[in-house]
Amino acid sequence: MTDLPSADPQDTGTSVFRRMTRERFDAFALWGWDPEVQEELAIGSCWSTFDERILVSVLHHRKTRQFWIAALARDAEGRYRGFTRSGPHPSARFAEDMLSDGRSESLAQMRPDFSEFPTLPDGVDLFAPLADEAKLHPAFRVLREMPNQSGARAMVAEIARWVPDLDGNLVLDFQTTGYSARTWELYLFAAMRALGFEVAHSHAVPDLCLDKGGTRIFIEAVTANGPDPMTSAMASGAPDGPPEDFWRVVEEELPLKFGSPLYSKMKKRYWEAPHVAGHPFVLALADFHALNRAGFAGGSNS
């Protein structure tokens, strides 16, 4: 990162930055946040230009107790990445005052150039038209088209900018027969990044290669699926309640539904691969075997 332009302490013009919620800032910035930075720095407040071209956070360094301002903008692939900083500042209030008056105008006008920054693997566009409309998974259609799914659609698209298609099938699977499985993979990626894990993208299998605190962990996503035909559609009314013989289902049917996909994954023996051997290996199982409240067999629409 380079330093911010020097601010004129006498400049008290109108601010071009406004506060934004931490949740919205994380939705944009979390995926590119360095895990080591997450450990060292606490986010105090978040700001953005009106068009969200520039995002800014006021950071508190836990060890030195110093305060910094860090700014992010989208690179050529649409990913928010840090490009400049200023500090240390004497207090969080001082840093926020810089953003809430005219001293921040020069920052808002910056046009960051990421050409000399480290190259990142390309992410994907999950909504690029790849498959025939008749083959699209009904849950994908809902996510793509329904107004009440706009938030989920934007969130999924933002995450996908950071997820490379290592096996060449991610987008097609997400749109068709693999919607549930690929949604689970994306969820695991987002959850691990939120927990401060660094995600490596050097191998297609297992699904996730994680690093944190000098330890490497591999995760393979597994789903227990029910009937998931291309012709399935939204069911009318509320889903059925729990079965009368609930415990019999739990003790007899569910072990079979969960055991089959787990057994299939175990046969692949991922832990014996050269890049996995000697590291912790996890099978992360998600249950998609029954209709959810949107009426879909084998998938969630959000």
Note the pLDDT tens digit of each residue in 29-84: 999 888 877 788 899 999 999 999 999 999 999 888 899 999 999 999 999 999 99
CA–CA distance, 140 with 300 (Å, rounded to integer):
9
**Predicted confidence band at 106 (pLDDT cuts at 50, 70, 90)?**
confident
- Residue 101 DSSP one-character state: B
Does 134 have pLDDT greater than 60? Answer: yes
Contact (Cβ atoms closer than 8 angstroms) between residue 219 and residue 212:
no
Predicted pLDDT of residue 140? 93
Predicted pLDDT of residue 224? 86
Does 144 have pLDDT greater than 80? Answer: yes
Q: Please return the burial class of 237, using the count of CB atoms within 10 Å of its CB with bins 0-12, 13-18 and 19+.
A: exposed
To the nearest whole percent, how much of the chain has pLDDT over 70? Answer: 85
| Sequence spans of domains, the chain | 2-108, 133-288
CA–CA distance, 42 with 299 (Å, rounded to integer):
36
Does 7 have pLDDT greater than 50? Answer: no
Structure-model confidence comparison of residues 236 and 78, the more confident one: 78
Contact (Cβ atoms closer than 8 angstroms) between residue 79 and residue 162:
yes
Helix (H, G, I), strand (E, B) or coil at 77: coil
Predicted pLDDT of residue 69? 92
State both tokens at 273: 């691969």
Cα-Cα end-to-end distance for the chain: 35
Where are the extended beta strands (E) located within the chain? 2-3, 17-20, 41-49, 54-61, 67-74, 80-89, 198-200, 208-212, 215-225, 281-288
Q: Any idea which of 102-106, 138-142, 169-173, 259-263 has the lowest mean pLDDT?
A: 102-106
Predicted pLDDT of residue 298? 47
Structure-model confidence comparison of residues 39 and 173, the more confident one: 173
Does 301 have pLDDT greater than 80? Answer: no
Does 19 have pLDDT greater than 70? Answer: yes
Q: Any idea which of 118-127, 171-180, 242-251, 277-286 has the lowest mean pLDDT?
A: 242-251
Predicted pLDDT of residue 290? 67
Predicted pLDDT of residue 237? 61
Does 255 have pLDDT greater than 50? Answer: yes
Predicted pLDDT of residue 244? 82
Does 238 have pLDDT greater than 80? Answer: no
Predicted pLDDT of residue 99? 86
Q: Rounded to the nearest 5°, which phi and psi values hold at 41?
A: -120, 140
Predicted pLDDT of residue 300? 40
Indicate the helix (H) or strand (E) that contains 255: helix 254-268
Q: What is the mean pLDDT of the chain?
A: 84
Predicted pLDDT of residue 295? 41
**Predicted confidence band at 187 (pLDDT cuts at 50, 70, 90)?**
very high
233: Cβ contacts below 8 Å, ≥ 6 apart: 138, 295
